Amino acid sequence: MYGSRGAVSLFATGGVAKASVAVAGAVLLLAGCSSSDGDGEKDKSGAKVSQQPKDKDPYWVNPDGNAAEQVASYAKDGKKDDAELIRKIAEQPTGEWLTPENAEQEARGFTEAAAKADRDALLVVYNIPHRDCGQFSGGGAADGNAYRGFIDQVAKGIGDRATTVILEPDAVLHMVDGCTPDEFHEERYDLLRGAVEKFKSLKNTKVYLDAGNAGWGKTDDITEPLKLAGVEQADGFSVNVSNFYTTADSTKYGKDLSSKVGNKPFVVDTSRNGNGPYTEGDPAENWCNPPGRALGESPTTKTDDDLVDAYVWVKRPGESDGTCKGGPKAGQWWPEYALKLAKATK
């Protein structure tokens, strides 16, 4: 996937920043199965993970996430300093990447847990056919009908609970940059429009169609494709998913694009952009587990910009981009990398 994603891995080809999403590892958290209290906190071996103030950040912090588990593990082992570093990640809400095998069950579990904590769920839908052009997160639904069934399951799981959906990282961008063959474009546009329509039919769901990142190319090239994919019917679009471009560059890109798609607002993934993109290594590999990166702005809806609906952590910091630079499989938790991100954060 080009410069995006949450449980994703990124890669670069032909000078285009790309991102691939790892869909494995979504936590099946059914309401009532978590030991969280009503405020969304969990006590494990003396470690507690708290929700952020709702007026600043309405999104739900998963008390059973990988980072929260790591905090508890470090605390149990007496590694207090490491535990506090990982807490920088654990106490921020991050996107939950739904797996197609359990889409309805996961969507229901995450949204019910969020509602119990009086927060909104942040879900990532990433299952478009021919996903990621066969790269680290290649795959997706077998065909159009399978994808429509998947979307129906997600919608059923969400119900009327407050939810924000990040829709199909890189799906539009890969049609623009030539990664996805032309023969699949017509169906993909139809599937994306249908997904936007389905999620917009839900009472309390917002949907943001992914629109790439500040480093991939010109906004003019993606404007019409986004319209064909239904961005004008969506609540807005997302930028910088799983990528490292600065918030300033991402906002500039988003505003330029917004002016061409009906002044739609957007959200920025700030999960790992604290030090901007990595530029010292091989450009073809700078997307994957780059060294020296840092956490970005904390998630919040208080952006002081009318066009920027929120800073969100779509990518879950500390999860690998792929088997490069000593990393595990894309999407797997990598505590050593998580510690480096936290240590580098000012």
- Domain limits of the chain? 8-343
Q: pTM for this one?
A: 0.89
Exactly one of 57, 82, 170, 249 is catalytic; name it.
170
Decide yes or no: CATH 3.90.105.10 for domain 8-343: no
Q: In the chain, where do the E strands start and end?
A: 8-13, 16-21, 42-44, 47-49, 96-97, 121-125, 163-167, 205-210, 236-239, 266-269, 308-312
pLDDT of residue 338: 98
* Tens-digit pLDDT string for the chain (346 aa): 433 333 343 333 222 333 333 333 333 343 333 334 445 444 444 468 899 999 999 999 999 999 999 999 999 999 999 999 999 999 999 999 999 999 999 999 999 999 999 999 999 999 999 987 766 666 899 999 999 999 999 999 999 999 999 999 999 999 999 899 999 999 999 999 999 999 999 999 999 999 999 999 999 999 999 999 999 999 999 999 999 999 999 999 999 999 999 999 999 999 999 999 999 988 878 889 999 999 999 999 999 999 999 999 999 999 999 889 999 998 899 999 999 999 999 8
Residue with tokens 């981009």: 321
Name 306's bridge partners: none
Q: Within a 10 A sphere around the Cβ of 63, how many other Cβ atoms?
A: 27
Q: Is 321 a catalytic residue?
A: yes
Say which of 57, 82, 132, 249 is annotated catalytic.
132
Does residue 170 have an active-site annotation?
yes
